[in-house]
Amino acid sequence: MKPGFILIDDNGVIRGANEEGRDIILGLPSLFPEPKQADMLALRRLVDGEASGSPELPVEISVDLLTDGLMEAPQVLLTVRAKWAVAERRRRILVDRYRMTAAEVRLAELLMDGLTPTAASEKLEISIHTVRTYLKRLYNKVGVRAQAGLVRALLKAEQE
């Protein structure tokens, strides 16, 4: 699934969007029945670079400020991706590149999200000994010797 791109000027007016972005805009009423003032203020803070957290949305949004000498005012480019698509892409990379099993993928995702092995064992409801066994397999598959190297390599692979 391609990401949606939505171009918004400094007044919050939508200036353009690709096809996926238009689909997102058209689908907003069904995703968010009525915009709330707090949500609009949160979006404004996000656009202004003042957000200290984000509302839980079914999409992942990245915000880029666009400025150059040709524009009357700065504009913001919102890149919108469905969270399920981001997660699916991550899983596909882990399986295709490193030949991870489903259990190894679940552990790797939790480690990439910042959980400790102990916290991951609790979340997955498996013993810490099982987590350590999976970690040894992951180190071997990824070609690293420690957890920090594992997470760094996996996050780098995700960005490529």
For 12-35, what is each residue's pLDDT tens digit?
667 777 887 777 666 654 444 455
Best CATH choice for the domain 99-159 from the list 1.10.275.10, 3.40.640.10, 3.40.718.10, 1.10.10.10: 1.10.10.10
Identify the pLDDT of residue 19: 81
What confidence tens digit (pLDDT) does each residue in 82-137 have?
666 667 888 999 999 999 999 999 999 999 989 999 999 999 999 999 999 999 99
What confidence score (pLDDT) does residue 70 get?
Answer: 57
Q: What percent of the chain has pLDDT over 70?
A: 54
pLDDT of residue 54: 47
Domain ranges of the chain: 4-84, 99-159
Of the candidates 113, 124, 5, which has an alpha carbon nearest to the alpha carbon of residue 59? Answer: 5
State how far the Cα of 104 lies from the Cα of 92, in Å rounded to an integer. Answer: 13
- DSSP for 75-93, written as a single string: EEEEEEEEHHHHHHHHHHH
Distances (CA, A) of 133 to 3, 67, 72, 151, 153: 37, 50, 58, 16, 19
pLDDT at 42: 64
